[in-house]
Structure 1
């Protein structure tokens, strides 16, 4: 089973000039660039909040590591549960932009509500609603990216989008740092600016992302003539049938296993602060290191995955994350340590965040693309929800060192299992055909 497809450049990537010269098509489509711009703006807003949230909850509200682990798990778990709903709705109504817009709008509405909440209960509800918006928009957005891109350039398209998205992740903590430096009520000021930026992201989505971007074309009538047949509605049993695809099952299994041992970003930054003694005023800048490396390497990693195979790049990314855990556990206290850990953290995301959906897109039919992406994304996010709960409990019971050592040991074992499940040879011993199409799903509406 391959995690990736390796294939020659698609004819769609080249055009012929009037004089016969072959012209290179744009690296990515305009819809991908527009969606990347929306994600950039929205991520500025989201990361402004995310950058200060751990310190605000633990230092400001006195939340314990276990309580923060539960809240961080809720922050990601709600998004995971709703992601499946968003993917299915987008495929069912055949309007990915509409569902994505509802998700972006809901997240934007929640930002100003943080100005009114100063206790754990209301903040938890607002964060759950904000993550609901993220869950609704993620699968439709990724479906639009994949359906707007050639099959052999999925990794590049997702890499470009993730690079633009990460530019927002880079600017968000920096903006939060600047606001905290000049504002009297620093946290409230961060939440207010974040709300304004989120509204701008929704406006850009409505104005610049074309309606019907990346929508799968309706099926042709049997005779090839006459009016187009009305496409059958996507049903829940169609989504369940996706799990009969062997490659999709393998991807979902590996995403879940590896997610169970992927410590959340917030815990990584808290561990790095405690290990190196970084001051509280510099804490919001820690995500900048991860985002900067992610930004630089997202497109090269996606293009490399298209060429050499997504399995190799994906597993290498988790190996880099394991190296980062090792440095936090056993490296001596020397000045370059924070930079090395953040660099490895960013390289992990560059090698995995866009590569996994690109691999999923290669296995799922166009009419169920958002649903297939949501299935794998939901499994991964729920696994990371469980990891946040488990790591927060282990930190409270055992301390930071044993908790991280357990996570590192689990990641090593799960990566070995993933490498076996996604091995590039077919069961009979012959190499699998990496360019083979995903098997067709049965049509439950068609009579035998």
Structure 2
């Protein structure tokens, strides 16, 4: 595999670059994300039980922490995207984001109170928010428009491999030393530090030419364009009815009396399915339309709500729920930036991706807080059924928005190459 110049991402396919290969930059960024996800998922896999069972947080308080975990990155996603587009220093902005998240792992050691834990989780998610859009912009710049789904699928597959390994490492550590959450946090920091080193040492830094950059007014014009407006509204609508993973796993654990020591394996099941389907879903999105695949992923999520909140409390329900949740992520996580990036100018790509992702995480923050309150009032089963009804009502509206002319039909139509700053 080899990279081609970033400018070629918008041009015709060259005869010397194999059509089926993804750029080395995509693979390297996938390795960075894999190591980072080993680190982050080690913590995420133990966090729900650590907070509710070990530290004694209530479900409303946990809903707030989970909402912060899901949505606080929105505070800096636009900053990361805008800074990347204005400076051309996407790599170094991503380095800062990955570094902040790595340091936050160690900060979990002294954090015991609600406010301290919320602050640490916030720092971790701010780092994620800062790095995500510059990183995805680098992936898009190194890829051809017609294979964006494949490229993001390869990156997300490597990312998800790390997400599957992280809970296994946490499970092994807690099995060796029961209740040793501190060891999880320390090992998590070490793995994250290796990921930062790979990014700094091996991922090439490409700087945009000054003449190719848009002014702030030009970027804002791209972000408010008719082409981007409809898919962003659709993603916001769907995000408002997306329940956080932690709540889904806690519901499965309680309703099936799953032993607490096995809790991290729920994350492994979801991520294993995601790993298997990430590249196939990316290819499918390139062929049939990224908007269609995105909607299909949310149909899978609706099925998760019905199974996890239904009357069947067996291992069968657990396995089916994890398989459907993994399908949801495979059909949405990498498909979203692949869907959005052709709808804005290359010089505003990071900002466009950040805008869509920001809307999603803000909506999911609100969703987590609302679901936590609903759980406390009526229990997990009722909460999941209510959210299933809401998601069922949102899906037709989101499908209409993604199919509209203003969003480029199935969202596969690439915007014109000419852009006015």
TM-score by length of 1: 0.87
Tell me how far 1:241 sits from its aligned partner: 1.2
Larger C-alpha radius of gyration, 1 or 2? 1
Counterpart of 2:44 in structure 1 is: 50
Instruction: Render the CA deviation track for 1:343-394: whole Å, top value 9, x for unaligned.
Output: 0000011111111110101111111111010000000000000000100011
Instruction: Render the CA deviation track for 1:390-432: whole Å, top value 9, x for unaligned.
Output: 00011111221221122111111111101111226679xx978
Pairs within 5 Å for 1:33-44: 33-44=27-38
Change (3 A) 1:105 1:335: closer
Tell me how far 1:342 sits from its aligned partner: 0.2
Tell me how far 1:117 sits from its aligned partner: 1.8
Pairs within 5 Å for 1:52-201: 52-183=46-177, 186-201=180-195
Tell me how far 1:246 sits from its aligned partner: 1.7
Instruction: Give the conservation status (yes or no) of the 8 Å contact 1:245–1:438.
Output: no
Please, which of 310, 317, 338 is the counterpart of residue 358 of structure 1?
338
Q: Secondary structure at the match of 2:413?
A: coil
Matches of 1:98 and 1:433 in 2, distance apart?
30
Alignment length (residue pairs)? 412
Change (3 A) 1:235 1:81: farther
Tell me how far 1:231 sits from its aligned partner: 2.0
Matches of 2:186 and 2:283 in 1, distance apart?
38
Pairs within 5 Å for 1:198-217: 198-212=192-206, 216=208
Instruction: Give the conservation status (yes or no) of the 8 Å contact 1:260–1:386.
Output: yes
Greater CA drift, 357-366 or 107-116: 107-116
Q: Which has the higher helix share?
A: 2
Tell me how far 1:149 sits from its aligned partner: 0.1
Matches of 2:55 and 2:75 in 1, distance apart?
27
Pairs within 5 Å for 1:377-396: 377-396=357-376
Instruction: Give the conservation status (yes or no) of the 8 Å contact 1:40–1:164.
Output: yes
Q: CA RMSD in A?
A: 2.2
Pairs within 5 Å for 1:238-277: 238-277=218-257
TM-score by length of 2: 0.93
Instruction: Render the CA deviation track for 1:273-295: whole Å, top value 9, x for unaligned.
Output: 12211110100110111100000
Please, which of 413, 418, 421 is the counterpart of residue 435 of structure 1?
413
Matches of 2:45 and 2:358 in 1, distance apart?
24
Instruction: Render the CA deviation track for 1:292-325: whole Å, top value 9, x for unaligned.
Output: 0000000000011101111221111111111111
Counterpart of 2:324 in structure 1 is: 344
Matches of 1:352 and 1:442 in 2, distance apart?
31
Tell me how far 1:233 sits from its aligned partner: 5.5
Q: Secondary structure at the match of 2:62?
A: helix
Instruction: Render the CA deviation track for 1:254-284: whole Å, top value 9, x for unaligned.
Output: 1110000000011110111122111101001
Instruction: Render the CA deviation track for 1:133-159: whole Å, top value 9, x for unaligned.
Output: 111100000000001000100000000
Counterpart of 2:4 in structure 1 is: none
Instruction: Give the conservation status (yes or no) of the 8 Å contact 1:245–1:439.
Output: no
> Any gaps of 5 or more consecutive residues in structure 2?
1-10
> Any gaps of 5 or more consecutive residues in structure 1?
1-9, 16-22, 219-229, 444-448
Matches of 2:388 and 2:75 in 1, distance apart?
26
Matches of 1:426 and 1:197 in 2, distance apart?
44
Counterpart of 1:224 in structure 2 is: none
Counterpart of 2:13 in structure 1 is: 12
Q: Secondary structure at the match of 1:24?
A: coil
Matches of 2:168 and 2:58 in 1, distance apart?
26
Change (3 A) 1:277 1:369: same
Greater CA drift, 35-44 or 321-330: 321-330
